[in-house]
Amino acid sequence: MLPLSLYDSIESAWCPGCGNFPMLKAFKQALAELEIRPQDLVVVSAIGQSSKFPHYLKCNTFNGIHGRALPVATGIRLANPGLKVVVTVGDGDQYGEGGNHLLAAFRRNPDLTLVVHNNQIYALTKGQASPTSDQGTKDTLHPQGVPYPPLHPLALAVAQDCSWVGRSFAGMPQHLTEMYKKALTHKGMAFLEVLQPCVSFNKINTYEWYRQRVYEVETRPDYAPGDELWAYRVAKEWGERIPIGVIYLNPRPTLEESFPQLKDGPLAGRLPERPLAELLAEFS
Amino acid sequence: MPIDLNILIGGAAGQGVHSITTPLAKSLVRAGARVVVVQDYQSRIRGGHIFNLLRVSDAPLAGPREGVDLLVALNQETVTLHLPELSPSGFLIYDADLVKEVPAGVAALGLSLEELLPGTKAGEIAVNAGASGAILGLLDVPVTGLAQMLAESFAAKGEEVAGWNKQAATRGWELAQKFPHPVSLAGLTPPAPPRLLLSGHEAVAMGALMAGLTFISGYPMTPWTSLFNAVAQRSLKYGVVLEQAEDEISAINMAIGASYAGARAMTGTSGGGFCLMTEAVGLATMTETPLVVVVAQRPGPSTGLPTRTSQGDLQFVLWAGQDDGPRAVLAPGSPAQGYALALKAFDLAERYQLPVFILTDQYFADSQHTCRAEDFPARRIPFALDLKPAGGVYERYALTQSGISPRRLPGFGPELVVADSDEHTPDGHLTEDLGVRVQMHDKRLRKLTAMAGEMRGLTTAGDPEAPVVLMCWGSSLGPVSEAVSRLQAEKVAVRMVHLSELWPFPREAVMKALQGAQKLVVAEQNASGQLARLLRQETGLTATQAVRRYDGRPFTPEYILRGLAGVV
């Protein structure tokens, strides 16, 4: 195991009590246990409080624009498949602004870990509903309540053949560390949603609210993460009981494996020799 | 007088207008002719009316011209639409199975399937091979090369189909030989290989490959697609990773990610696709990621005229993105410039760590020109980064006098590469320190100063002392330079100043080139005069006249000359 201090970076600007703190700590723990060195890791994020995550972690970082972390991360993987790539974004970012990229990433199956911090609210813009806000949630933009039901991201992932789908809860640090480790060691796209209470703007989905509802899915007698229909049913479960753990396992070839161009090593720093005469013949 | 022959091949989409043009153009190039091919097509898969214009000469050609000397009609509509353009000595070749009315007095050859391929079950499209052969027959070019080419290109469809095409071409050639034709290409000397007939986008693709392109992402959109295709066909051979993105937003972000991680990356699009990309233009600027972006212009706004040409996005590309940001904007006027500017684009992007735009358009993208191998010199663009461990503290955005900070790649050493779209400290972390913000913004903008010294790309022609100056940019080069040489032939004192490197604006060079101008005419293919505006902004000089075209068709020398009536 590597020392945890290896991953220490600048001081954070999160609210005291934010679910991002235990997420950061558990992530460092997972990295240290898996002995992933900062220089071999790229954490890609976008916009939102969750997207400040890579700044508070010592590693290579690409902090991009709203909703677009997955395309950037995919480009990084294709340029250098030797890098461990993690995308860390929020529910508004990935499920709202970045929805199209989420669908495309499920299909592509790049070998990366997508961590969505789901607090069911837009926090950075001060408390608007997100795609995962419950129907009826009242906010400044919906004084009469959100008129439609929330998105089911995990069910969407299962339906779109994502190769690894799981969920954890920021209030259970040990579970979170284990889930990070599983996601980080999965080959292909691992989609980990973390229930992460927003202590400033979401007064309904609090630590306590989640604590009363989450259960470890592996304890189910019918646990069968390799079964798509079972996984779909469980992924849709939301309300009185909320499953956490590995919900779907679907090993399949990665995006990177579909490019023979990458067999000779990373594109990174590669300056191919292309003889002019051959190029001219190619275009004549 | 040099040979100057204009061949128009028209029909409905799906009838095989291109299947005639391509082998025919290649046969003419191989016979030693200079050729320019321009495509005019509609936004539909089948039907409608499309045509290709093939200009043939024994001397170098700058671009297309108006008028038709040899008309190939695959349907009646083509006859109706284009026969009025046929010159008095012109000749018509038509599909006799589909064209039933040919006005009296027109020298014409009708080709029917029955006559070309008697007793066979060949499809009607085989008439196209007959028409190709007939054109060569009229021009006294041996048919053997074309017949061989057709046999090879149809080989995949089976021996019988390949044989039919070869036979139809030969028979068409024989029939046409019986007609006298004023133009003969029999005296030309066939050139040694490589015999190049390149479209603008193929030349840009070749330049990108020479520059070391290893990653390209995009979303299909006309006219950008032809460049994306040109790379795709060679991506496996040259080890280029190509990804068709789910949208243009993804395409540019993916290219930025690939470039951040060390690939030599490119993306591209047209019109509305570039509107989607603009947010990420800011991202490439702010994260100081090298990136080449091709913007293939078409008329707009919105979806506009998808398959037509335009130079209407100059001002948009110059300023696309939030706040101020350094960038370079290049606009090639010929395949040779397309190749050279693709190399320059990668070089500037690499050294200055910023987005570089190559502005093309549908006319430039799709039109093909005979080129010489010496137009494409080999050049290598080395990486402007150090992969050896630096030791000490590494700062991705270190404040430097040149504005350029040391770039490194993640995973190539102990240094961590921290890139951020937020305003950031020298070590890459987000900051709200407003003093740092000003320092960083100034640092990025300092890149423009050094880069401005590298902007050349001024092509001049005509009489350097002439009081009348014709100024233009990008793909207008050919038509404008031909207009200038025609005026000179008539002893009119006129000169051309063409710009292919537009930003940072080469102020000194332009001022010098315009010295002594009494009449300054800016010719461009947009309605508002975007180059004229840029010129006024950067030099204070105001154009006295304008020639503008924005109906979706490219400039021709005749259009320019009509626009100059009363000026010269």
Could B210 and A274 be called an inter-chain contact, meaning their C-beta atoms sit closer than 8 Å? yes
Average pLDDT taken over every residue of chain B: 95
| Predicted local confidence at residue A9, as pLDDT | 94
Q: Are A193 and A154 a contacting pair, CB within 8 Å?
A: yes
Could B239 and A270 be called an inter-chain contact, meaning their C-beta atoms sit closer than 8 Å? yes
Look up residue B253 and give its amino acid.
N
Interface test mutation site (partner B, options A37, A49, A65, max chain B beta carbons within 10 A) = A65
What is the nearest CA distance from B417 to chain A, expressed in angstroms? 5
Cα B389 from chain centroid (whole Å): 42
B84, two tokens: 């009025």
Residue B278 has pLDDT above 90, yes or no: yes
- Least confident range from A210-214, B119-123, B481-485: namely B119-123
* Chain B residues near residue A276 by CB distance under 8 angstroms: 210, 376-378
What is the tens place of the pLDDT at every residue in B251-270?
Answer: 999 999 999 999 999 999 99
Sheet with B34-40, edge to edge strand ranges? B108-111, B86-95, B68-73, B4-13, B47-57, B34-40, B368-371, B196-199
What is the tens place of the pLDDT at every residue in B145-189?
Answer: 999 999 888 888 898 888 999 999 999 999 999 999 999 999 999
3-class SS of residue A64: coil
Number of Cβ within 10 Å of residue B285's Cβ equals 23
What is the nearest CA distance from B218 to chain A, expressed in angstroms? 12
Residue with the larger pLDDT of the pair A133 and B122: A133
Q: What are the distances in angstroms from CA A239 to CA A150, A194, A205, A209, A231?
A: 11, 16, 11, 10, 17
What is the nearest CA distance from A262 to chain B, expressed in angstroms? 8
Q: What does the DSSP assignment read for B354-410?
A: SEEEEEEEHHHHH-EEEE-GGGS-----------S---S---TT---SSSPPPP--T
Residue B126 has pLDDT above 90, yes or no: no
Closest CA in chain B for residue A38: B416
What is the nearest CA distance from A136 to chain B, expressed in angstroms? 32
Is A8 within 8 Å of chain B by CB? Answer: no
| Predicted local confidence at residue B522, as pLDDT | 98
Share of residues in chain B with pLDDT > 90 (%): 89
Query: What Rg do the C-alpha atoms of chain B give, in angstroms?
Result: 26
* Chain B residues near residue A278 by CB distance under 8 angstroms: none
Parallel/antiparallel/unpaired status of strands A121-122 and A128-129: antiparallel
d(CA B86, CA B69): 6
* Chain A residues near residue B251 by CB distance under 8 angstroms: 71
Closest CA in chain A for residue B420: A63
Buried b (16+ CB within 10 A) or exposed e, B480-494: bbbbbebbbeeeeeb
Average pLDDT taken over every residue of chain A: 96
Is A278 within 8 Å of chain B by CB? Answer: no
Burial (CB count within 10 angstroms: exposed 0-12, middle 13-18, buried 19+), residue A16? exposed
Could A269 and B412 be called an inter-chain contact, meaning their C-beta atoms sit closer than 8 Å? yes
| Predicted local confidence at residue B85, as pLDDT | 95
For chain B, how many residues are written? 568
In 3D space, the residue among A175, A180, A139 whose CA is nearest the CA of residue A53 turns out to be A180
Number of Cβ within 10 Å of residue A29's Cβ equals 20
| Predicted local confidence at residue B567, as pLDDT | 85
Is A272 within 8 Å of chain B by CB? Answer: yes
Cα B304 from chain centroid (whole Å): 19
What is the tens place of the pLDDT at every residue in B510-547?
Answer: 999 999 999 999 999 999 999 999 999 999 999 999 99
Output B122-127 pairs: Cβ under 8 A, ≥24 positions apart. Answer: B122/B161, B122/B164, B122/B168, B124/B95, B124/B97, B124/B98, B125/B15, B125/B16, B125/B19, B126/B164, B126/B165, B126/B168, B127/B74, B127/B95, B127/B97, B127/B168
* Chain A residues near residue B236 by CB distance under 8 angstroms: 260-261
Interface test mutation site (partner A, options B202, B250, B381, max chain A beta carbons within 10 A) = B250
How much is the average pLDDT of B295-301? 98
Could A62 and B429 be called an inter-chain contact, meaning their C-beta atoms sit closer than 8 Å? no
Residue B388 has pLDDT above 80, yes or no: no
pLDDT band at B121 (very low <50, low <70, confident <90, very high): confident
Backbone angles phi, psi at A209, to 5 degrees: -60, -45
Could A75 and B202 be called an inter-chain contact, meaning their C-beta atoms sit closer than 8 Å? no
d(CA B318, CA A107): 36
* Chain A residues near residue B198 by CB distance under 8 angstroms: 283
3-class SS of residue B264: coil
Nearest neighbour of A52 by CB, restricted to B212, B237, B430: B430
Q: Are A85 and A232 a contacting pair, CB within 8 Å?
A: no
Is A101 within 8 Å of chain B by CB? Answer: yes
* Chain A residues near residue B194 by CB distance under 8 angstroms: 277, 280-281, 284
| Predicted local confidence at residue B46, as pLDDT | 83
d(CA A38, CA A61): 10
How much is the average pLDDT of B548-562? 97
Q: SS3 sequence, B85-110? A: HEEEEEEEEEECCCCCCCCCCCCEEE
C-alpha torsion angle, residues B204, B209, B215, B219 (rounded to 10) = 30
Residue B434 has pLDDT above 80, yes or no: yes
Cβ under 8 Å to B: A residues 54-93: 55, 58-65, 68, 70-76, 78-80, 82-83
* Chain A residues near residue B411 by CB distance under 8 angstroms: 39-40, 42, 60, 80, 82-83, 266, 268
Residue B204 has pLDDT above 80, yes or no: yes
Q: Partners of A113 in the beta sheet?
A: A86, A190
Is A263 within 8 Å of chain B by CB? Answer: no
Interface test mutation site (partner A, options B196, B248, B416, B436, max chain A beta carbons within 10 A) = B416
Share of residues in chain B with pLDDT > 70 (%): 100
How much is the average pLDDT of B423-447? 97
H or E stretch at A72: helix A69-79
- Least confident range from A232-236, B158-162, B301-305, B349-353: namely B158-162
Could A62 and B210 be called an inter-chain contact, meaning their C-beta atoms sit closer than 8 Å? no
Is A284 within 8 Å of chain B by CB? Answer: yes
3-class SS of residue A226: coil
d(CA A177, CA A169): 10
B552 DSSP assignment: S
Nearest neighbour of A83 by CB, restricted to B237, B264, B410: B410
Nearest-5° Cα angle at B238, B234 to B239: 110
Q: Average pLDDT by consecutive 10-residue portion of chain A (284 residues)? A: 95 91 97 98 96 96 98 98 98 96 98 96 90 93 95 97 98 98 98 94 92 97 98 96 98 98 93 94 89
- Least confident range from A205-214, B40-49, B217-226: namely B40-49
What is the nearest CA distance from A90 to chain B, expressed in angstroms? 17
In 3D space, the residue among B460, B512, B469, B525 whose CA is nearest the CA of residue B494 turns out to be B469
Q: What does the DSSP assignment read for B447-506?
A: HHHHHHTT---EEEEE-TT-SEEEEEEGGGHHHHHHHHHHHHHTT--EEEEEESEEES--
| Predicted local confidence at residue B370, as pLDDT | 96
d(CA B201, CA B227): 5
